[in-house]
Each structure stands twice: as C-alpha cells, then as structure tokens.
Amino acid sequence: MDHFLYRDGVLFAEDVPVPEIAAAVGTPFYVYSVATLTRHVRLFDEGLAGLPHLICYSMKANSNQAVVKLMGDLGAGVDVVSGGEYARAKAAGIPGERIVFSGVGKTREEMRMALEGGVRQINLESEPEMRALSEVAAAMGVTVPVAVRVNPDVDARTHEKIATGKSENKFGIPISRASEVYAEVAAMPGLEVVGIDVHIGSQLTDLQPYRDAYSLVASLTKQLRAEGHAITRLDLGGGLGIPYERSNAAPPLPTEYCDVVRETVGDLGCEIEIEPGRLIAGNAGLLVARVIYVKEGEGRRFLILDSAMNDLVRPSMYGAYHDIVPVAEPAAGVDYAPYDVVGPVCESGDTFAKGRMLPPLSEDDLVAFRSAGAYGAVMASEYNTRPLVPEVLVGGDQFDVIRARPSFDEIVRRDKVPAWL
C-alpha cells in the first residue's frame, strides 16, 4: 500500500494534491512519501521482531539525503557501495556502527574512508580485496569486522541484469570455496571475521530462491563455526520485489519474506542484517510528467511527455513496466485507447511503454509513473542536457524540494573550457 491515492478527482501525495506540487516546482519531478517509506521500514522491523536484527537500507535505491536521514531517524542502518554513499550516510548522521560497506570493487581509498569514519562491517567479495583491506587496516593499526559475500549459485528468477547469485555473476566467492577463504581471512592481520554475507539479486518475486540461498548459509554457518570462526552476524542482502504491474500476482510480502528468514536461519543465534532497497523506496515515489504533445503517427498515437529515459531509465534499460496514470482521475466509463508513451530524447529507445491503454489525454495534462521511488532519480542522467529532475518529499500536508532542478546556466558553467583552447 502506498500513499498516492485519488481524492476529489485528483491524485494526492499523502495530503497534498499532485498538481499543487507541479505548480510549485514545474515538471517533471519525483515525489516521495514519508508515510510510505516509514511503513515499509516498519514492516520489516515487525516481520523480524524477536530476532536481533538491523535493517540496512540499501541506499543505492534512493540516496537522497532526506531519505537517508529519514532511514536513520527510523533506527535503520544503511548498506553503502561507494565512497560517495558512505559520505552520504555520514552526512545524514548515520553512526558508523550502522553502516555496512558492500560492493565488488572497493578501492583502498574507500576502505580508508570507512575505517577512519567508522563502519559496522565490510563485506568482502574476493581474495585480492581481502588482502587490500588487511593491508589498509594493518597500516592504520585497526581491526575491522568483516563478512565474506558468498555466491550460492542460486537462480533468483529475476531479470538477468539484476541477478547476482549465480556462479557466472561477478559477485562474491563461490560458496564451495568458503571454508578455504574464511581460513585465509582469519589469518590476515587487521581483519576480524564476524559473519557471512549473501545477496542473490533484485526484484525477486518468488521466495524459493531465498529459501535455497539462506538454507545454504545456515549450513555454512554451522560448518564455519565448527572450523573455529565466530559467526555472529548474517547479512542476508536485499532484493525483495515490488508489484510494478498491479494486474500481476502480488509478490511476497515483507512478512512472508521475514518468515523465510526465521525458518532458515532464525535458530542460529545470529544477528540478522537485511539490505532492502527497492521494497522500501520503490512504491514510495512517483515520477510526475506533463504531456507536451499528442502526436498521431501511422497507426499509432504517441504521448510525448516532458520526462524521458534520462529521468527514468528502467523501461529502456530493462524493458521494465511502470504503471502510468493520469493525475486527473479518469471519469467512470471513459474509453481507454492505446498510446506509445515516449520522451523527447533523440533515441527510439526513449520509450516508456508501447500500446499502453490510457484514458483520453491532451497537451498539458499531468501523468504519474508509479513505483518510481527506487532506481529512478539515482539512475538519472543529463543526457541531451536535460537538467536532473527535482525531488520533492511529502509528509502529511507539507512538502519540500529535497533536490532542486539545476538551471541551464548552472549546467553550462559546471564545465570548464581551458584557457588555452
């Protein structure tokens, strides 16, 4: 459930009519709901009640400072995958003991940054990375808690570009080599083994891959303990999918996912860390755009919007489906017709949907892309020198711009033309 509902014939973001925001900030823009973000964190918290746990919000899904700060205020930690994300976490006031550093290619500089600023644990993904971290930590005279990301060779049954738990993927070390690798890590100066990390992919709509992966992690925990390692934490990653297409069968709920956690690893006495991103932020956001033109093509009708693939890349990148709804509630019984929904960017791939059934729309009408709160603004670019879209946060009846649209002048001045040219 989200907090973007029709009321009095118009779409609201919590208690604010969406056209009011459009009038204040211009289109296109992203809008996020505090109530939805909060609700999603609570669902995981409630689902894991009774088990020692920390929700480490995967901020790659939506790393706006205001969103990260809200996560911290809700008691969550964060999962970061770059120096930039680490800096965001610190700037938002998240204490080091709630920051998990993941990622397949952490640089020595990023490692140093985390060790200086404080980190709960660093998830290691390869032997060269272990050696690098050991060197960095030892040179700084500190010991850092680490988990090793294991690749369980489980098919997450999701889009191939966002599956991470098969042996052909670049992530983690093969689970079959865990014993040997843990022995190596334990012998390295500056590293303290505290747990096991796993993350098998994103937008999972089936719980079985989780069951399979977490059962393997449970067996590995017992094995590594028998080999003398103090496994006290399990980082189970993120990946739980959201209902992009309302007509499809609903994906599992966070509570059902948490039940799988409980069943598979709940009796090991470990502190559980989970790293949801999309489930927390996805349905907490809309991308709102305006119709520039309705163009009649040969046998097709194009709805040309002022938002484009540079603002929301998921449809062109993964063929992803986003629900598109008019901001003015369609009258009951109105006829729907197929539209190709496109942006103004000079690529045919700048297509959000083909043959999408929509009610009659005309120039200047507002439309909203649902489920755009995760992997939306964070993946945006300024391709075609289209300014990054502003982001707005709504809480009850108030809203604020949490990232402003840069002016053309700011964009032009950001580049530096050498004096010698």
Ligand X SMILES: Cc1ncc(COP(=O)(O)O)c(C=O)c1O
Ligand Y SMILES: N[C@@H](CCCC[NH3+])C(=O)O
Enumerate binding residues for ligand X (CB under 6 A). Answer: 58, 61, 79, 102, 199, 202-203, 237-240, 275-279
CB burial string 66-100: b at 16+ within 10 A, e below: bbbbbbbebebbbbbbbbebbebbbebebebebbb
- Of ligand X, ligand Y, none, which one sits near residue 276, judging by CB under 5 to 8 A according to partner kind? ligand X
Give φ, ψ of 55 to 5 degrees: -85, 115
Q: Considering the complex, what minimum distance in angstroms separates the CB of residue 91 from ligand X?
A: 21
| Minimum CB distance to ligand Y smaller for 21 or for 377 | 377
- Of ligand X, ligand Y, none, which one sits near residue 275, judging by CB under 5 to 8 A according to partner kind? ligand X
Q: For the chain, percent helix, then strand, then coil, each to nearest 5? A: 35, 25, 40
- Of ligand X, ligand Y, none, which one sits near residue 326, judging by CB under 5 to 8 A according to partner kind? none
From 120, 84, 81, select the one nearest 102 (Cα to Cα): 81
Check whether the bond before 28 is cis (ω within 30° of 0): yes
Q: How far apart are CA 214 and CA 261, in angstroms?
A: 7
Q: Count CB atoms within 10 A of the CB of residue 347.
A: 14
Q: Considering the complex, what minimum distance in angstroms separates the CB of residue 322 from ligand Y?
A: 11
| Minimum CB distance to ligand Y smaller for 59 or for 345 | 59
Which of 56, 258, 270, 346 is catalytic? The answer is 346
What letter represents residue 132's amino acid?
A: A
Tell me the CB-side half-sphere exposure of residue 287, using CA atoms within 13 A: 31
Q: Which residues sit at the interface with ligand Y, rule CB under 6 A?
A: 60, 162, 202-203, 314, 375
Q: Which residues contribute to the annotated binding site for pyridoxal 5'-phosphate?
A: 239, 275-278, 375
Q: How far apart are CA 227 and CA 224, in angstroms?
A: 5
| Minimum CB distance to ligand X smaller for 201 or for 315 | 201
Q: Is 346 a catalytic residue?
A: yes
* Residue of closest CB approach to ligand Y: 375
Residue 37 to residues 6, 68, 402: CA-CA distances in angstroms?
19, 11, 15
| Minimum CB distance to ligand X smaller for 92 or for 240 | 240
What letter represents residue 105's amino acid?
A: G
What letter represents residue 222's amino acid?
A: K
Q: Which residues contribute to the annotated binding site for substrate?
A: 278, 314, 318, 347, 375
- Of ligand X, ligand Y, none, which one sits near residue 314, judging by CB under 5 to 8 A according to partner kind? ligand Y
- Of ligand Y, ligand X, none, which one sits near residue 195, judging by CB under 5 to 8 A according to partner kind? none
Q: Considering the complex, what minimum distance in angstroms separates the CB of residue 200 from ligand X?
A: 9
Q: Considering the complex, what minimum distance in angstroms separates the CB of residue 419 from ligand X?
A: 43
| Minimum CB distance to ligand Y smaller for 238 or for 326 | 238
Q: Count CB atoms within 10 A of the CB of residue 306.
A: 17
Which residues, in sequence order, are CB contacts of 217 under 8 Å at separation 6+?
Answer: 150, 152, 196, 198, 234, 236, 264, 265
Q: Considering the complex, what minimum distance in angstroms separates the CB of residue 414 from ligand X?
A: 29
Active centre residues (catalytic): 346
